[in-house]
Structure 1
Amino acid sequence: MPARGLRAHTGSSRAALRRCGQVMHGMRRAATGTGAALVWGLMPEYAHAEGVEAATLSASWALPFAGLLLSIALFPMLAPAFWHHHFGKITAAWSLAFALPFAALHGIGATWPMLLHALIDEYLPFIALVGALYTIAGGISVYGNLHGSPRTNTAILALGTLLASVMGTTGAAMLLIRPLLRANDNRRHNAHVVVFFIFLVANAGGLLTPLGDPPLFLGFLNGVGFFWTAQNLALPMLFVCGVLLTMFYALDRWLFTRAGEARAAFLDATPDTGPLGIGGKINFVLLALAVALVLMSGVWNPGLSLAFAGAHVELQNLLRDAGLVALALASLAFTPRTVRAANDFSWAPIVEVAKLFAGIFATITPVILILRAGEAGAFAHLIRLVNTTPGQTDGVAYFWATGLLSSFLDNAPTYLVFFNLAGGDAPTLMTAGAKTLAAISAGAVLMGAMTYIGNAPNFMVKAIAESRGVRMPGFFGYLGWSCVILVPVFLATAWVFFA
C-alpha cells in the first residue's frame, strides 16, 4: 500500500477533511500537468528513443532514489510539520535531481521513454488499485460495541488478517481498528492490542494475494501470477500469523485476568451502544468486483494492446485500471456520507501516496536498469552478496536483506529493487527461482511490521489509536516490541521455509 504517504500523514483526519478542498484543487492542477506531459509524449521524436546501455550507468544514478527514500523515512520523524506541508516539493526535487542530469547526459530522447514507461506501465495501475481499495474500504463502517476479551480480540485480529489479503492491509486496518479500539477502551492495558494489530492486520495478513500489499501488486504488474503468492506463501503466512495470534492470546489473557484491568463503568468512553451493524454494504459488492478485475487482468490475455507515445498498454490492463477507477467513483456515489464521516474519511493520505510514488517510480528507473545489467552493472557487488555461488541465489539472504531494508524504507520500492536484483524475469523467478521470489515477497511484506515507517497503514493505525487515548510506544519503543516478538518468529520462518 504504502505506501509511505499513508504513514507520513500525521495530521488528524478531521483536519484533513477541512483541507479537502485545497487537496482537490491540487489534484486538478496535477491532472492538468499530467495531461500536458502525455500530450508531449505523443511527439514522435520522444516516442521512439534509443535505449540506454545499462552496464555503463554508474551507481551515482541511485542517489536521488536513495535520497527520496531517506526523506520519506526521516522527515516525518524529525520535522513532521515541514514534511506535511512540503513533501510534494521534496519529492519533485529528488525527481528532477535524476531527470535533468540524465536528460542532459543521455538526451531527452532516451530519458522520456523511461519516464513514460514508469508512468503508464507501473505508476498509474498502482495508484488505480491503491486508490480504489482505499475509497471502497473507506465506505464500510462497523457500528456498535464489543467487549475486549482475549477471545474477542483474537477473533478480530484473525478476521482482519484474513481480510487483508482481499481488501488490502490499509483497507482491513481502517475497517477494523476503530471497532477494536471501542472494544478495549475500558481496559487499562490496550497498547499491546494495537501493536499486534499492526503486526497482523496491517502487514502479515497481506501476504496471500497481489491485493494484499503494494509490493505484491508491483510483482503482479511485473508478471508474477495472481495465484502464485497464495500457492507459495500460504504456509509461511499461516506459520507467522498462527504463532503471532497464539502469542497475542497468551499475553492478552494474562493482562486481562490481572486485578484492576477493567476500568470503572463510568470511565468507559464507549459503553454499549446497541447491536453491531455494518454501514455501506454496497462496498462489499464493489470490493468483489475489484478483485475480479485484477484477477481478469492476470488470466485473460486477448493479445491486443494500445500503442501510446511509444508505450504499449495491453487491453486487459487498460480495462482493469479503468474499471477500478469506475468502482471508486461508484463507491463515492452510492455510499452515504454519514458512513464515511464515521470513518473520518479523508483524501489527504491517498493524495500523499500519489505524489510520493510518482517520485519513487521516476527515481527508481535507473536503479532497475543497473540491476538488470547483472554482474556487468554497477551493483555487481550486491548481486554477489546475496548469491551463495555465481548464478545461485541464497533465499535466506534475500529474505533478510529485503526485510531489513523494508523495515526502515518503503517496502514497495524495496521489493522492486530485490526483484530486479534477482534477475527481474518473472517466469524464471516463479519456477526455478520460486524460493528466491518467495523470500523477497515474504521479507518485504512481513518485515514492514518492524517499524512504524515500514508499511503504509502502520503510522495511520498509531495515529488513530493515540487520538482515542491509547498510549502507544514511541518509534524506538515499538522497535523494541518488534525485535522481541517478531525477530525470533522471522528467524524460524527463514530457517523453515527459505534455507
Structure 2
Amino acid sequence: MKTGMIIAASVAALLASALPAMAAELDGASLALLWATPFVGILLSIALGPLLFAHVWEHHYGKIALAWGILTALPLAVIKGADVAFEALMHTALLEYVPFIALLFALFTCAGGIMVRGNLRGSPGTNAAILAVGAGLASVIGTTGAAMVLIRPLLRANDDRRHSAHVVVFFIFLVANIGGSLTPLGDPPLFLGFLRGVDFFWTLQHLFPETLFVVALLLGVFFLLDRHLYKREAIGPRLRDPTPESRLGVEGLVNFALIGVIIAAVLVSAAWRPGISLELPGATLALQNVLRDAVFVLVALASLMLTRRGIRQANGFTWGPIIEVAKLFAAIFTCMIPVMAMLRAGSSGAFAPLVNLVTGPTGEPVPVAYFWLTGILSSFLDNAPTYLVFFELAGGDAQHLMREGALTLTAVSAGAVFMGANTYIGNAPNFMVYAIARHRGVKMPSFFGYMLWSGGILIPVFLLVTWLFYL
C-alpha cells in the first residue's frame, strides 16, 4: 500500500474513533488566521507547482495535496476534538465534494466521447463562428467539455495559418471560461452555488445580460484582429495545409443524449422533494440528491459502454485530468473547512478586515468590491473555492442572496467565472487547452505573455462591465 494511502487511512481511523452521538459544529469565531495556512498552501501549490517545479509536481501532486489536507484534518482533531473534525469532514465530503466530482466525472466522460471530424479553413468568419458555438455550448456541457470537444477542430482549421496563437487565447477567454456562466453545469463555481441552494436557472436569468455583452464584445474584437492578421498572411505564400478541407461530421451523438440525462437529473433534484433522507454524522443526505449523484455515475458508465472506442482514442482521451482534479479538490475542500467556518463568523472572525473591504459604511454589501476581489483571486487561485469564499462572505444564505442580495451574488458569480480567464491557472480547462495547442505546434505565449493579452483585452472589458452593471 502506498504511503499516502496509509496516512489517509490513519487519519480517518483517528477521526472515526471519537464519533459522537450528537453533531458538533466548528466555531469559526474561535479560529485564528493561522488555520487558513493549509488552504493558501494548496492553492499556491496548484498555481506555482507547474511553473516552478513542473517535474516534481507532475509526479507528486497527489502527495503534496494529501499533505496539505492532513495539515488541516489532524490539527482540527487534536485541538478542536475528533468529533468536530470528523463531522466537518463528513459534511464537506458528502454534501459538497462527492456531488461536485460526480458531475465533473460525468460531463468529462461524455464530452470525451464526442468527436468533430473533418476540417474547415480557418478564416476570420469560421473562427468567430466556432468561438460563438463554443461559448454557447460551454453552459450546456461545461467549459471543460466544450473546450475538449472544439479545441482540436479549431486547431485543425488554423494549422496553415502563420498567426494562430491569438485564436487559442480567445478560445480560452470565451469557451474555457466566460461561456460557462449561464448554468451550474457550465463552470464548477456555479455548481457549488447550486449545491448551496442557488436555483438552477438563477444564473441564466441574472448573468445573461453581462455574459451576452462580454461575449459579443470579445467576438467583435477577435474578428477585427483575426481579419487584420488574415489579410497580412495573404500577402506572402501560405503554409502547406497538413489537414485539407473536408466535410464536417460529429461522432458519438449518443453522448449528447446522455448529457441531456445529466441536465434532467440536476433539474429533478432541485424540484423534487420527497422528504426522505438519511441521517449521517455531520450530513443529512436527501434522497433526491443521492439519486442525482448515482445518475451521474451511471451516465458516465453508459457513455463508456455506448461510445465506439476509436472515438476516445482519436480525441486523445485519458483519465489523467479528472484524476488530477479529484485529488486536488479533495485537499481543497478539506483545507477550506476552517476557512469557511471563519467566514461564517463574519465580523467576529479572523476575516473581519476582508468583510470590511466588501461592506459599505452602513453595513450593505458593495457589489463592485465583490466582483473585483472575487475576480482577482480567481485569476490566480482556483475559481471554485474562491467563489465559495465570497459566497460565505456575503452571508452564505442562498435564498437571501437570490432575492435581496441578487446583485451581490451576480457580482460574485461573474467575477469567478469571467476572470478565471485572466491567467492560465484561473480555470482548469485553461492549462489543458494551452498544453494541447503547444503539442500541436502553436507558439503560445508564456504565462506572463498570456497575461499581457488578458490585461490588454479583458481588463478594459471588465471595467466596462463594472460601469454598466455594478455601479
- Matched residue SS, 2:360: strand
Aligned to 1:271: 244
Counterpart AA for 1:330: A
Counterpart AA for 1:212: G
**Structure 2 regions of 5+ residues with no counterpart?**
none
Within the alignment, does 1:495 sit opposite 2:467 as a pair?
yes
Q: 1:133 aligns with which of 73, 82, 107?
A: 107
Aligned to 1:160: 134
Give the CA deviation at 1:307: 1.6
In 2, distance between residues paired with 1:146 and 1:263? Answer: 19
Give the CA deviation at 1:98: 1.2
Query: Would the aligned equivalents of 1:150 and 1:249 in 2 still touch at CA under 8 Å?
Result: yes
Q: Which has the higher contact order (CA 8 A, sep 6+)?
A: 1
- Matched residue SS, 1:301: coil
Counterpart AA for 1:99: A
Aligned to 1:308: 280
In 2, distance between residues paired with 1:356 and 1:315? Answer: 28
Aligned to 2:289: 317
Query: Would the aligned equivalents of 2:374 and 2:412 in 1 still touch at CA under 8 Å?
Result: yes
Give the CA deviation at 1:34: 8.7
In 2, distance between residues paired with 1:277 and 1:36? Answer: 52
The one-character-per-residue Cα deviations of 1:449-471 (angstroms, maximum 9, x if unpaired) are: 00000001001101111111110
Aligned to 1:23: none
Counterpart AA for 1:61: W
Correspondence list, 1:141-160, <5 A? 141-160=115-134
Aligned to 1:172: 146
Aligned to 2:95: 121
Give the CA deviation at 1:260: 3.9
Task: Evaluate the alpha carbon distance shift between residue 422 and residue 77 of structure 1 in structure 2; reply closer, same or farther with a 3 A threshold.
Answer: same
Q: After alignment, is 30-39 or 292-301 more displaced?
A: 30-39
Give the CA deviation at 1:264: 3.8
Q: 1:95 aligns with which of 69, 72, 85?
A: 69
Give the CA deviation at 1:385: 1.0
**Structure 1 regions of 5+ residues with no counterpart?**
1-26
Counterpart AA for 2:241: D
Aligned to 2:411: 439
Q: After alignment, is 41-50 or 98-107 more displaced?
A: 41-50
Counterpart AA for 1:54: G
Give the CA deviation at 1:53: 2.3
- Matched residue SS, 1:290: helix
Query: Would the aligned equivalents of 2:136 and 2:179 in 1 still touch at CA under 8 Å?
Result: yes
The one-character-per-residue Cα deviations of 1:36-73 (angstroms, maximum 9, x if unpaired) are: 99899887834634223221111111111001101110
Task: Evaluate the alpha carbon distance shift between residue 261 and residue 497 of structure 1 in structure 2; reply closer, same or farther with a 3 A threshold.
Answer: farther
- Matched residue SS, 2:279: strand
Aligned to 2:425: 453
Task: Evaluate the alpha carbon distance shift between residue 47 and residue 407 of structure 1 in structure 2; reply closer, same or farther with a 3 A threshold.
Answer: farther
Aligned to 1:78: 52
- Matched residue SS, 2:275: coil
Query: Would the aligned equivalents of 1:189 and 1:261 in 2 still touch at CA under 8 Å?
Result: no
Aligned to 2:22: 48
- Matched residue SS, 1:142: strand
Taking every aligned residue pair, what percent have the same amino acid on both sides? 58
Give the CA deviation at 1:176: 0.3
In 2, distance between residues paired with 1:442 and 1:261? Answer: 41
Query: Would the aligned equivalents of 1:405 and 1:414 in 2 still touch at CA under 8 Å?
Result: yes
Query: Would the aligned equivalents of 1:47 and 1:310 in 2 still touch at CA under 8 Å?
Result: no
In 1, distance between residues paired with 2:286 and 2:195? Answer: 12
Aligned to 1:197: 171
Counterpart AA for 2:139: S
Correspondence list, 1:49-68, <5 A? 49-68=23-42
- Matched residue SS, 1:121: helix
Q: 1:414 aligns with which of 382, 386, 390?
A: 386
Counterpart AA for 1:427: Q
TM-score by length of 1: 0.91
Aligned to 1:462: 434
Task: Evaluate the alpha carbon distance shift between residue 56 and residue 41 of structure 1 in structure 2; reply closer, same or farther with a 3 A threshold.
Answer: closer
The one-character-per-residue Cα deviations of 1:282-301 (angstroms, maximum 9, x if unpaired) are: 10100111111111111222
Give the CA deviation at 1:102: 1.6
CA RMSD of aligned residues (A): 2.1
Between the two proteins, the alignment pairs up a number of residues equal to: 471
Aligned to 2:456: 484
Counterpart AA for 1:307: E
In 2, distance between residues paired with 1:320 and 1:417? Answer: 25
Query: Would the aligned equivalents of 1:42 and 1:308 in 2 still touch at CA under 8 Å?
Result: no
